[in-house]
Amino acid sequence: MKNKIIYFFLAGLLFVSCNENKKELSQVVDNTQATTEYKQESNEAYTLLKNQCYACHSVSSISHDEIIAPPMVAVKRRYSRMYDNKEDFVEAISKWALNPEKENAIMRGAVVQFDVMPKQVFKEEDLKKIAAYIYDNELEEPDWFKKHEKEMHGGNGRGKGMGRNQ
């Protein structure tokens, strides 16, 4: 009799733990689907970023002298200091790209160096995707960029000259 009770007890345990495993498995499947969807979206955003912005905000320029606009990673750093949440960040980048005006620029050093970003035709919807991608992902840095930051801004991107110059 005692053995039987133990047997039922064990069988019960087994049943419960199998069910839990099942639940976990379905959660894993859900998560994987979500990740895949997210990846597809972010692939699309990355393609937009490359096609629409990297022509100027390039990551492949060979030196600091060759570039025609600050690399996007520098824009991200500057905007992240000003806008500390995704919503405001996305809004600010999209608004800027829709209508770049010298008076509204926050990268003043870049405006002096490269002149203000030319006004182009972008879809607001695309800009929001691009800006969200920029916020969520680590962007490539051109090789010279780290060195330049160290020389110009004391190394950590929040150096003394940065606020005033850029």
Give residues in contact with ligand HEC (CB under 6 A). 52-53, 55-57, 68-70, 75, 93, 96-97, 100, 105-107, 110-111, 114, 116-118, 122, 127, 130
Task: Report in angstroms how near the CB of residue 61 gets to ligand HEC at its nearest.
Answer: 13
Q: Rank residues 125 and 143 by Cβ distance to ligand HEC and give the closer one.
A: 125
Tokens 């992240």 -> residue: 80
Distances (CA, A) of 60 to 13, 26, 68, 94, 150: 59, 43, 12, 24, 19
Q: Rank residues 17 and 80 by Cβ distance to ligand HEC and give the closer one.
A: 80
Q: Which residues contact 101 (CB under 8 A, 6 or more apart)?
A: 116
d(CA 7, CA 64) in angstroms, rounded, equals 74
Q: Rank residues 97 and 132 by Cβ distance to ligand HEC and give the closer one.
A: 97
Q: Rank residues 24 and 136 by Cβ distance to ligand HEC and give the closer one.
A: 136
Task: Report in angstroms how near the CB of residue 98 gets to ligand HEC at its nearest.
Answer: 9
Largest Cα separation within the chain, whole Å, is 90
d(CA 32, CA 26) in angstroms, rounded, equals 10
Task: Report in angstroms how near the CB of residue 135 gets to ligand HEC at its nearest.
Answer: 11
Task: Report in angstroms how near the CB of residue 53 gets to ligand HEC at its nearest.
Answer: 3
Residue from 122, 164, 133 nearest 45 by CA: 133
Q: Rank residues 46 and 114 by Cβ distance to ligand HEC and give the closer one.
A: 114
- Report how far Cα 165 is from the mean position of its chain's Cα atoms: 24
Task: Report in angstroms how near the CB of residue 39 gets to ligand HEC at its nearest.
Answer: 21
